[in-house]
Amino acid sequence: MSYAAYPSLRDKTVVVSGGATGLGAEFVRQFAAQGARVGFVDIDALHGEALAAEIGPSALFLPCDVRDVGSLESAIDDILHTFGPATILVNNAAHDKRHSIDELDVDYWNDRMAVNLRHQFFAARRLAPVMRAAGGGSIINLGSISAHIDLVDLVGYITAKAGIEGLTRTLARELGGDRIRVNCVIPGWVMTERQLRDWVTPEADAQIDRNQCLSDRVLPADVARMVLWLAADDSAMCTAQNWVVDGGWL
């Protein structure tokens, strides 16, 4: 099948967090295929380096733990130095490790906020003046269907993902005067390699069948195409919104 090409993405500099595997890796590949320069960070150096080598000179990988805000900001600075001003940010890094309420002590709670929510604000804040100087930009935050459906053993993750929707609304208002758009993409249950390996059991598969309107499974490319559109000038008047890609679950 043929999908849209976006001339406004060509030669743009894009920053993606959590870009080494899964959804993030699909974002990196698809932005590069549009002719963009993509700098991406991830804690997984092995897969990140392999992906950058696969794509070539238009991709730059920097190992980074997004829980370390100083390291994240430094990595963004390195991307800007290499590729020039970035006008597109995809805040994707996250970790959905299961946990019970009783396991959540203060340190682990703070860790769940740091890996799933906090870095999105600080990455956006670091790039806001760059986008302002460029005349505008697009920030795309990755939320989750988990904040809207009946899941358990994920209270820290779900709380953080719900917070992303609030962060999106307030950043859109704060930055809109500088023509910086901020949107939230809410994927459904996406069939990444990790999800298929660890969580998509026959029972989970039956749950998806019961809840989605569409019988097909949501793939990383389905979410990436929404992200591309929100990054491109085609969505120039779209901001402060949640964009759901879930096969009709919600």
- Residues designated catalytic: 157
Please identify which residue in the block is written with the tokens 């003046």: 129
The CA distance from 133 to 53, in Å, is 31
Write the burial class of residue 142 (CB in 10 Å: 0-12 exposed, 13-18 middle, 19+ buried).
Answer: buried
Contacts of 61 (CB under 8 A, 6+ apart): 19, 20, 39, 40, 41, 42, 45, 48, 49, 51, 52
| Residue 153, CB-side half-sphere exposure with 13 Å CA sphere | 5
Contact present, 123 and 17 (Cβ < 8 Å): yes
In degrees to the nearest 10, what's the CA dihedral of 50, 54, 60, 65?
Answer: -30
